[in-house]
Structure 1
Amino acid sequence: MKNLFTLILLAFALSASAQGNDKREQIKALKTAFITTELSLTSDEAAKFWPVYNAFDEKQFELKHQKMRALGKKIEGIDSMSDKEALVVINQMEDYEEELFQNRRKLVSSLKSIISPVKILKLKKAEDDFNRKLLRQYKEKGPRK
C-alpha cells in the first residue's frame, strides 16, 4: 500500500511537472536505459522483454493517470460527500488498486518465460530505485512553472 501511494504521488508529481508528451517520453527513455543497465539484458532478452514491459507500463500509466486522477477529483469534494458517495469512491479505489495489482501479476507471469526470476526481482528493485531518483530530482529542482 505504501508503494502504491508513493507511485500515485509520483504519478501526480510527474503529471504536474510534465510538459506534454515530450517530458513523458524523456522520462520513459531514461527509465528504459536504467532498467536495461540494471537488468543486464541480453539482446535476445531485451527483444522479448520490452514489448511485454511496455504493454504493462502503458496499462499502469492509464490506470494511474486517468482513473486515479478522476478519483482524486472526486476526493476534492470530500467535505460535501455523503457516506454513501464516499463508499462508492472507496470501492472504485479498491477496484483500481486491484487492477494495478493484477496488471503487475500478469507482467511477472509473462516475464517468467523471458528472463530469470533473479532478473524479475531486479526489475522491481530497478523500478523502485528509478522512481526514488526521479522523485528526489523533482524535489531538488522543485515544481516548474
Structure 2
Amino acid sequence: MKVKNLLPILLFFATFSFYAQSDKTDEKREKIKAYKVSFLTTELELTSTEAEKFWPIYNAFDDKQFELRHEKMKTYLRKLDDDNISSLSEKESCILLSQIESTDKELYTLREKYMTNLKKILSAKKILKLKKSEDDFNRKLLKQYRDKAGKN
C-alpha cells in the first residue's frame, strides 16, 4: 500500500483518537478548523466572489463529513474493540458490517455532491489545488500531533 493511500487512514485514526477525549473535543475541533481555514485561504488564493460561494459549501461538507466519520464511526469502532469482536454473534457482525458499508456509501455520495457543487464555482485547477492543500494540511497536522506525542 502506498503511503499516499495510507495517509488518510492514519489521519482518520489519529484525529479519531484526538477527538475521543470528550472534555475538550469542541474546543480542539474549532482550533483545528480555524487553522485549516487559514491554511486553505492562503493556499487557494480565492477571489472574494469565489470565497463567498466556496466557504458555505466547504463548511457544510466538512461538518457532515465529520459527523459521519466521527459520530457514526465512533459507535462502530467501540464495537470493534478486540474483546467486543469475540463476543459478537455472526448476525450482529453482519449488521455492524452493513452499517459500516452504509456509512461508507454516505461518505462517497457526500463527496460526489461536494465535487459537483465545487465545479460550479471553482476551476478544475483550483479544485486540484484544494485537494493538494487539504493533503498538505493533514500531513502538517499529523506531524504536529506526532511531534507533540513524542515530547510527552
TM over 0.5: same fold?
Answer: yes
Q: How many residues align?
A: 145
1:34 counterpart letter in structure 2: F
Q: Is the 8 A contact 1:11 1:64 kept in 2?
A: no
In the TM superposition, what whole-angstrom CA distance separates every residue of 1:44-76 from its partner, at most 9, and x where no partner exists? Answer: 100100000000000001001110000011112
Residues 1:109 and 2:116 are matched in the alignment = yes
- Cα distance in structure 2, aligned partners of 1:141 and 1:3: 18
Residues 1:99 and 2:106 are matched in the alignment = yes
- Cα distance in structure 2, aligned partners of 1:28 and 1:115: 21
> TM-score w.r.t. structure 2 length?
0.86
> Which residue number corresponds to residue 122 of structure 1?
129
Question: How far 1:138 moved relative to its partner?
Answer: 0.5
> TM-score w.r.t. structure 1 length?
0.90
1:113 counterpart letter in structure 2: K
Question: How far 1:4 moved relative to its partner?
Answer: 5.0
- Cα distance in structure 2, aligned partners of 1:54 and 1:82: 39
- Cα distance in structure 2, aligned partners of 1:88 and 1:24: 31
- Cα distance in structure 1, aligned partners of 2:145 and 2:10: 14
Residues 1:137 and 2:144 are matched in the alignment = yes
> Which residue number corresponds to residue 14 of structure 1?
18
- From the superposition, tell whether residues 17 and 82 of structure 1 become closer, same or farther in structure 2 (CA, over 3 Å): closer
User: What are the residue-to-residue correspondences of 1:1-145 with 2, within 5 Å?
Assistant: 2=6, 5-16=9-20, 19-76=24-81, 77-142=84-149
Percent of residue pairs bearing the same amino acid type: 50
Question: How far 1:36 moved relative to its partner?
Answer: 1.3
List alignment gaps of at least 5 residues for structure 2. Answer: none
Alpha-carbon RMSD across the aligned residues, in angstroms, is 2.1
- Cα distance in structure 1, aligned partners of 2:17 and 2:132: 21
Question: How far 1:122 moved relative to its partner?
Answer: 1.3
Where 2:80 maps in the other structure, the secondary structure is helix
Q: Is the 8 A contact 1:35 1:126 kept in 2?
A: yes
1:96 counterpart letter in structure 2: T
- Cα distance in structure 1, aligned partners of 2:135 and 2:14: 11
